[in-house]
Amino acid sequence: MCGIVGYVGSRNAVPILMEGLKRLEYRGYDSAGIGCVVRGKLKVVKKEGHLANLEAILPEGLSSTTGIGHTRWATHGGVNDANAHPQIGAGGKVAVVHNGIIDNYDALKKRLIAEDVAFTSDTDTEVIAQLAAKFLDAGDDPETAVRQTLELIHGTYGLVFLFADHPGLIIGARNGSPLVLGVGEGEMFIASDANAIVRHTPKVVYLDDGETVVVTADDFSTKDLRAAVVDKRVETIEWVAADTDKNGYQDYMLKEIFEQPESVARAFGEGGRLVPEFGTAKLGGLNLERRDFFDIRRVQIIAMGTAYHAAMIGAHLMETIARIPARAEIASELRCRNPIVEKETLYFAVSQSGETADTLMTLREIRSKGGRVMGVINVVGSTMARESDGGVYVHAGPEMAVASTKAFTSQVMSFVLIALLFARMRDLSLSDGKSLVADIGLLPDLMRRVLAQAEEVRRIARKYSSAASFLYLGRGPSYPIAMEGALKLKEIAYVFSEGMSAGDVKHGPIALVNEEMPVVMVAVKGDNLEKTIGGMEEIRARKGRVIAVTNVDDPRITRIAEDVIQVPETREALSPLLTVIPLQLLAYYIAVELKRNVDRPRNLAKSVTVE
């Protein structure tokens, strides 16, 4: 986690860095800082808390053509000004910003202390700054000093260095944490994420692990660990900067919830992915030969957080539509079991950012054992997208709110397409395929109809906003939706909530139900409806306050439930794309009611790049 940004050119770096940090703040917001070179000296300003705190103390007229910036999500060392980045080496000749964790920092720190180096922070990062300072003092040029430092540190890092004696130069290094270089006209940018750069240039170079980049205003040179030059491709990215604005919404999360009809339409529409005449989907990025579809016996899907809930729905779709045994796994759990990788299993890694360390490391583990991993990823050019054997971009566009919404529905839609493709390659009939394609096409309008009920959801949110805890229940494809609804509420409203299978609740958790407990139940038309209604009766019999999200007009539901949120009907397999929306809105409005910072919930970061 943490966001890093750097600039070298002819403009004033300060506003560029601050604007870049704004776009990266989703990666962490415990503290922020910038460093630049002013008349041969490093000027570092850093402050605990949100970026606004840093903005408030920036000296007026601070100007420099070279600088680095950082927004922090604390790992080593508490949240305070001293532990904020940039960290500076003794003598004030070098400053560094870091995203990642240095595993051997303790041993290195002890060694440096024994050599009389005085530390000013509790961070692992300061070790990097102090080592680089030592090498510079010994007469190394900046590139050699950085290289020598990298040889000593073990761990994960995205790093950008700045040097007092070399204005017009920054050096980046990557191992396990993303870094992307933006190539402008007479100016260069570097950042954890292209988001911080797109406003200035669409031309980017993605660094790979083990690479360093020496950057000046007009040039850059990338090298590997052995200092051999690596030729990198300059890619052009398509995002327009306006995508990352709030467009008049109060926060990114609400904007992104309301964008879902369009983002889901992109997930199935981009590049003509639906083929109505053959009732199938075209997903060229999977790189699968026709006979692969017969050889695949199982599917395993790995992910974390919200993406894991999409993975659960993905597994459900692969089984019910494509009839392939499939299961979803929390990536970090699979990794700690030493995964059994099988030739006939096709693996999928689902991730909005494409950078989540738990998922990425598991992807690497599976691939190192010969497994084939497909990415279902939002961020184009992200590490997972580049390291997987193929995959599907979900095309949700930049997602800025920490709590994921539109990426989730686009991930689910991507699995609908994957399942449809596999099904048609195996035993789904043409007419059944055509009927599914037709139903998919209706979804954006149905989503708009759900969104039109936002005011009603807001009323319900107000009514229940003082409840101490919530249960969310669902069956079949609504089970992951219950989990996702509960996660949203935890994440942004800090209200304890538990999402679980409506079948499992009676095996223990029902003991929690009393007249104070709101129980959100998702009940959709299909195989699971009758049992879900039965479950509602059981909750009501124990005086639980049922809030039903349903697509059926059933008098039993209106009788049992205290509040009903009606969503349009669609087939059960597609229902998660509609039922999740009221749950996103419910969490959102409860959080607003409780005066939470919706886009930047406490303790979280959007992209968790540490394991």
- Residue 383 host element (H or E): helix 383-387
**388 close to 408: Cβ distance less than 8 angstroms:** no
Q: Positive or negative CA dihedral for 254, 259, 263, 265? A: positive
CA dihedral 505, 484, 75, 72 (to 10 degrees): -150
Separation of alpha carbons 171 and 135, rounded Å: 15
Buried residues in 465-492 as b, exposed as e (16+ CB within 10 A): beeeebbbbbbbbbbbbbbbbbbbbbbb
How many of the other CB atoms lie within 10 Å of CB of 340?
A: 10
Minimum CB–partner distance for residue 123 and ligand G6P (Å) = 22
**Structural tokens at position 317:** 């779709």
CB-nearer residue toward ligand G6P: 1 or 565? 1
**Structural tokens at position 148:** 């020598």
**486 close to 497: Cβ distance less than 8 angstroms:** yes
Which residue is at the shortest CB distance from ligand G6P? 305
Minimum CB–partner distance for residue 407 and ligand G6P (Å) = 6
Q: Positive or negative CA dihedral for 108, 109, 114, 120? A: positive
**Structural tokens at position 180:** 């992307």
Minimum CB–partner distance for residue 249 and ligand G6P (Å) = 19
Look at residue 500 and give its three-state secondary structure: strand
CB-nearer residue toward ligand G6P: 17 or 402? 402
Instruction: Spot the catalytic one: 134, 232, 488, 606.
Output: 606
Verify whether residue 434 is a known catalytic residue. Answer: no
Minimum CB–partner distance for residue 253 and ligand G6P (Å) = 11
In terms of phi and psi (left: phi > 0; alpha: psi -120 to 50; beta: otherwise), the region of 51 is alpha
The two beta strands, 280-281 and 274-275, are antiparallel
Separation of alpha carbons 131 and 415, rounded Å: 47
Minimum CB–partner distance for residue 403 and ligand G6P (Å) = 6
Minimum CB–partner distance for residue 608 and ligand G6P (Å) = 5
Which is nearest to 524 in space by CA: 566, 476, 483, 572? 572
Distance spanning both ends of the chain, measured CA to CA: 10
Which is nearest to 494 in space by CA: 459, 458, 465? 465
Minimum CB–partner distance for residue 402 and ligand G6P (Å) = 5
In DSSP terms, 204 is beta-bridged to: 182, 235
Using CA atoms, how far residue 368 sits from 110, 174, 338, in Å, is 35, 21, 12
Separation of alpha carbons 101 and 154, rounded Å: 9
Minimum CB–partner distance for residue 378 and ligand G6P (Å) = 7
List phi, psi (to 5°) of 447: -65, -40
CB-nearer residue toward ligand G6P: 126 or 498? 498
CB-nearer residue toward ligand G6P: 187 or 484? 484
Minimum CB–partner distance for residue 470 and ligand G6P (Å) = 18
Q: Which residue has the tokens 């069956």?
A: 475
Name every residue whose Cβ is closer than 8 Å to that of residue 111 and which is 6 or more positions away in sequence. Answer: none
CB-nearer residue toward ligand G6P: 197 or 304? 304
Instruction: Spot the catalytic one: 2, 22, 46, 488.
Output: 2
Separation of alpha carbons 417 and 282, rounded Å: 8
Residues at the interface with ligand G6P (CB under 6 A):
304-307, 351-353, 356, 359, 402-404, 604, 606-608
Verify whether residue 543 is a known catalytic residue. Answer: no
CB-nearer residue toward ligand G6P: 328 or 565? 328
Which is nearest to 581 in space by CA: 501, 441, 485? 485
Minimum CB–partner distance for residue 285 and ligand G6P (Å) = 18
CB-nearer residue toward ligand G6P: 405 or 566? 405
**300 close to 345: Cβ distance less than 8 angstroms:** yes
Enumerate the H helices of 389-429 as residue ranges: 406-425
The CA R_g of the chain, rounded to the nearest whole Å, is: 25
User: Catalytic residue numbers?
Assistant: 2, 606
